[in-house]
Amino acid sequence: MRNIDHFIVGGSPAQTERFHDVWNPSTGEVQARVPLAGAALLEQAVEAAKKVQPEWAATNPQKRARVMFRFKELIEANMQELAELLASEHGKVVDDAKGDVQRGLEVIEFACGIPHVLKGDYSIGAGTGIDVYSMRQPLGIGAGITPFNFPAMIPMWMFGMAIAAGNAFILKPSERDPSVPVRLAELFVEAGAPEGLLQVVHGDKEMVDAILDHQDIAAVSFVGSSDIAHYVYKRGVAAGKRVQAMGGAKNHGIVMPDADLDQVVNDLSGAAFGSAGERCMALPVVVPVGEETAERLREKLIPAIEGLRIGVSNDPEAHYGPVVTPEHKARIEQWIATAESEGGELVIDGRGYSLQGHEKGFFVGPTLIDHVTTKMSSYQEEIFGPVLQIVRAKDFEEAVRMPSEHQYGNGVAIFTRNGHAAREFASRVNVGMVGINVPIPVPVAYHSFGGWKRSAFGDTNQYGMEGLKFWTKVKTITQRWPDGSVDDGNAFLIPTL
C-alpha cells in the first residue's frame, strides 16, 4: 500500500497518526493511504515557515517572480503526469484534469507579474512638504484548506498569490485526493523556492482546527462546502485571523425563448455533466422561460444526455468519469430518490449505473429531472453529481428571482440573443459570477473568483488583485523632511488640509 506523506521540512515524524484511504474511483479500489495529522505536525511546519519567510519577503519581487516562472515551466513539462495522477484519485477524465492544472497555472502566470502589481501608491505634496505613500506587505504565514474537486487549481489559486506576495504557505489539501498537491510542492522546490516556503500537511477536522487556532498563521483561505466554510470563517475570525471561505453552489442556467437551443444543449451537457457534476461552477439547474421553451429544450436535451459516454478516467473518449467516493455516489443516488419522492419527474435515471469491466467503480449515470420546483429540498440543496434539474419559469421576472433568492449565489448563466435582457439580468441578479451565453463563467486569472450569499464568507475574492489584497496588508507612510527653516510650534489640534 502506497503511503502519501506530508511535505514538510524535516520530514514526518514516526507515523503515529490516523490514516485515510485514498480510492481509485474508476476501479473502486483503495490505492493509497494518507496520514491525518494534528497540532504537533502543524507546529513543525509553522516553525520551518517562520524561519524561511522573512528572507523570502526581503527577496526582491523580480527574483520571487523568477521562481514562479520556473515553476510554470515545470508544471508544463509535467502536465501529463500531474493530470494522470489527479484523474486516478479524483475520477475526472485526464483531459479535464489537465484543465484543472491549467486553470491553476494561469494564476501562477499572473503571479509572475508580481513586481508590477505590488507597486505602491505615492502622493507627492499631500500637504506642504508632505508626501504620502503606501505599500503592500506580506502577512507572514498563510494557510489554505482545499476541497477534493480541484486538487490542482484551487491550491494554486491560493499559494500562487500568497507566496508571490512574500508569504510562506501551509496547504492542507483534501484527504480524498492529496497526491497532486504534494507533487506541486515538490516541483516548487525544484523551481528554486527555499524549503519551507510551501509545505503540505494532511489531515481532517483536527488539522483544520489546529490551523484555525494557531497564533502564527495570519490568514486562512478555505474552499469547500458551505457549513464547513461558515465554521472555518467563524473560528478563524474569532482567533483574529483574516479568513476568506468559499462554499457550495447551485448554479442556474436561464434559457430565454430566443436562445439558440442547440448551442444551449451543448453547453448544458458539458456544464451539468462534465467532471460528473462535481464542480462548484457546474450548471445543475436549468430554467427555461415559458412552457414552450421548456418543451423544446427537453426534447433536445434527452437524446443529448442519453448519448453521453461514461468511462474510466483514462478513457480518452469518455465525457465524464466516476464520482469521488462510494459515499458520494450513495449520497447523489439518495438525492435522486428524494427529488422523485418530492414530485420531480425522473426523465432519465442514472442510479444503479454499472460500467462493464469496472463494476466496482463509483459511476453515476446522467440524470435528468423535470418539473422540479423551488419548494423541493433537492432544488434547495447542492447535489454535486451528474444530475440536471429543470425548473420552469413563467417569465423573465421569475427567472431572475430564482437564482437571486436561492441560498447559494456562486455562478449563474443566461442564454439569449437579446442584449437588453442579458444586460438587465446581469445587473439585477443576486449572484457573484454571471455568464452571458457562457455556461461556466469562472473568471480569468487577472480578474477574481468569488460567489455571494452562502457561497462565500468573508469579503475578498480568490486570485487576481483581490487575491493580492487578501494576502497582503497595506502600510501607509506620511513623511516630511523639514529643513529647520520654519518653526511649526506645537500642534494640539488634529492637522487638517
Residue nearest to ligand NAD (CB): 224
Q: Rule CB under 6 A: is residue 155 a binding residue for ligand NAD?
A: no
Site string for ligand NAD, 127-146 (x = CB under 6 A): ------------------xx
Would you say 249 or 400 has its CB closer to ligand NAD?
249
104, HSE (Cβ side, Cα atoms, 13 Å): 28
- Binds ligand NAD by CB under 6 A, chosen from 140, 166, 224, 403: 224
Using CA atoms, how far residue 112 sits from 85, 399, 445, 464, in Å, is 26, 41, 12, 12
User: At a CB cut-off of 8 Å and minimum separation 6, what does 483 contact?
Assistant: none
Q: Pick the catalytic residue: 280, 283, 399, 412?
A: 280
Known active-site residue 280: yes
The distance of closest approach from Cβ of residue 233 to ligand NAD in the complex, given in angstroms and rounded to an integer, is: 11
HSE (side-chain half, CA atoms, 13 Å) at 310:
27
Build a one-symbol-per-residue string for 196-215: x at contacts with ligand NAD by CB under 6 A, - elsewhere.
--------xx--x-------
275 forms part of the interface with ligand NAD (CB under 6 A)? no
- Figure out which of the listed residues 382, 406, 425, 429 binds ligand NAD, where binding follows CB under 6 A: 382
DSSP code string of 136-176: EEE-SEEEEE--SS-TTHHHHHHHHHHHHTT-EEEEE--TT
- Give dist(CA 156, CA 108) in Å, integer: 7
246 is an interface residue for ligand NAD by CB under 6 A? yes
CB of 411 to ligand NAD, least distance (A): 9
Sequence-distant (≥ 6) Cβ neighbours of residue 344 within 8 angstroms: 369, 370, 371, 372, 376, 378, 389
- Quick check: 448 binds ligand NAD (CB under 6 A)? no
Looking at the chain, the number of H-run helices and the number of E-run strands are 16, 21
**CB of 277 vs ligand NAD, minimal distance in Å:** 10
CA quadruple 412, 416, 422, 425: dihedral, nearest 10: -50
Judged by DSSP in three states, 277 sits in helix
For ligand NAD, which is the closer residue by CB, 196 or 451? 451
Q: Which residues of 461-480 are buried (b: 16+ CB within 10 A; e: fewer)?
A: bbbbebbbbbbbeeeeeeee
CB of 214 to ligand NAD, least distance (A): 14
Spatial strand order of the sheet with 472-480 comes to 121-127, 130-138, 472-480
Establish if 175 lies at the interface with ligand NAD (CB under 6 A).
Answer: yes
Q: Of 101-109, 117-125, 222-230, 435-443, which segment contacts ligand NAD by CB under 6 A?
A: 222-230
How many angstroms separate the CA atoms of 98 and 86, rounded?
Answer: 9
Contacting residue, 75, 171, 217, 280, with ligand NAD by CB under 6 A: 280
27 is an interface residue for ligand NAD by CB under 6 A: no
Q: Retrieve residue 365's grid coordinates.
A: 449515470
Minimum distance from CB of 384 to ligand NAD (Å)? 5
Does residue 458 interact with ligand NAD by CB under 6 A?
no
Question: Binding residue for ligand NAD (CB under 6 A) from 88, 149, 275, 460?
Answer: 149
Q: How far is the CB of 154 from ligand NAD (least distance, A)?
A: 6
Question: Rounded to whole angstroms, how far apart are CA atoms 289 and 258?
Answer: 10
Helix (H) or strand (E) holding 106: helix 94-111
Classified as helix, coil or strand, 66 is helix
Stretch that binds ligand NAD, among 243-251, 305-313, 420-428, 476-484 (CB under 6 A): 243-251
Number of residues interacting with ligand NAD: please give it, by CB under 6 A. Answer: 26
Nearer to ligand NAD, 56 or 148 (CB): 148
What is the per-residue binding string for ligand NAD in 383-422, x denoting contact by CB under 6 A? -x-------------------------x------------
Contact call for residues 302 and 368 (beta carbons, < 8 A) = yes
**85 is an interface residue for ligand NAD by CB under 6 A:** no
Is 31 a binding residue for ligand NAD by CB under 6 A? The answer is no
Q: List CB contacts of 357: < 8 A, sequence separation 6 or more.
A: none
Q: Hey, which residues are catalytic here?
A: 280
Q: Which residues bind ligand NAD (CB under 6 A)?
A: 145-150, 172, 174-175, 204-205, 208, 223-225, 228, 246-249, 280, 382, 384, 410, 451, 455
